[in-house]
Amino acid sequence: MAHYLTTNNATLHFTDQGQGSTALLFLHYWGGSAQTWQQVTAPLVPKVRCVAMDLRGWGRSRALDGRYDLEAMADDVQALIEALGIERVVLVGHSMGGKVAQIVAGRLPASLAALLLVAPAPPKGLPVPAEVRQGMLDSYQSRAGVMQALKVLTHQPLGEADREQVITDTLAGDMAAKVYWTSEGILADIKEGLELVTVPVLILVGDKDEVERRQVLEPLFGAILPGAGFRVLADVGHLSPIEAPAQVAQACLELLEELA
């Protein structure tokens, strides 16, 4: 069921299913929406509360003040946790959503129980060439462009329903949100406070991911979160919540068991 929260000069759309004092809160990638997680949450809802939100600028969420930066997104996440009365939260962030989750975790909120980062954008901004970032932005402007981007984002072709959902989500994104990520968000250094995180952290990455490569992520996160677990998903590209939802759901359950 769709819900809305107006906070921080934004109207946020989210889904809220299942029950429990501990909730999984899912944050999608650049181009995604709450729908990105539907195959991950389906087997989890009978066991745990699952909240999936559209980050501002994506899905049905919009900023009323025109802000689409990472800090504003992190503020939204914390506002949603508070508004829903979530006592303990496991943040599950994919790619850009992983970077937002890291910012929230670095603020050390009392409600944070664990962190699951799925093919996350790293905390240290990487020097992505301007022409590459422009190419990313250009590919998100048309159906043909998204189809081309999917060749990089996924290892195996998606089924028709999944492919159409990705295309719909991508094209529905606010242009300002698309521009922010490619011009600033992808370059932002957000590691401040992250080294103080003491809750369980698990990082998932596909061995065929051409966006966030294991060889880059493992040393970067290892230096900041040396206690984090690191798991490689075989034959999976960057869109692991869609390509390998069962494995992502299983990782969620394992984290919950660790907290029990």
Distance CA 69, CA 241 (A): 23
Q: Is residue 260 very low, low, confident or very high in pLDDT (cuts 50, 70, 90)? A: confident
What CA–CA distance (Å, rounded) separates 186 from 197?
22
Structural domain including 70 reads 2-259
Q: Could you give the dihedral angle defined by the CA atoms of residues 137, 142, 148 and 149, in that order, rounded to the nearest 10 degrees?
A: 40
Using one digit for the tens of pLDDT, what is the confidence trace for 62-95? 999 999 999 999 999 999 999 999 999 999 999 9
Using one digit for the tens of pLDDT, what is the confidence trace for 202-256? 999 999 999 999 999 999 999 999 999 999 999 999 999 999 999 999 999 999 9
Q: For residue 92, which amino acid is it?
A: V
What CATH number should be reported for the domain holding residue 155?
A: 3.40.50.1820
The pTM of this model reads 0.97
pLDDT of residue 244: 98
- The total of structural domains in the chain comes to 1
pLDDT, tens digit (0-9, with 9 covering 90-100), for 108-165: 999 999 999 999 999 988 888 999 999 999 999 999 999 999 999 999 999 999 999 9
Out of 11-15, 74-78, 141-145, 189-193, pick the least confident. Answer: 189-193
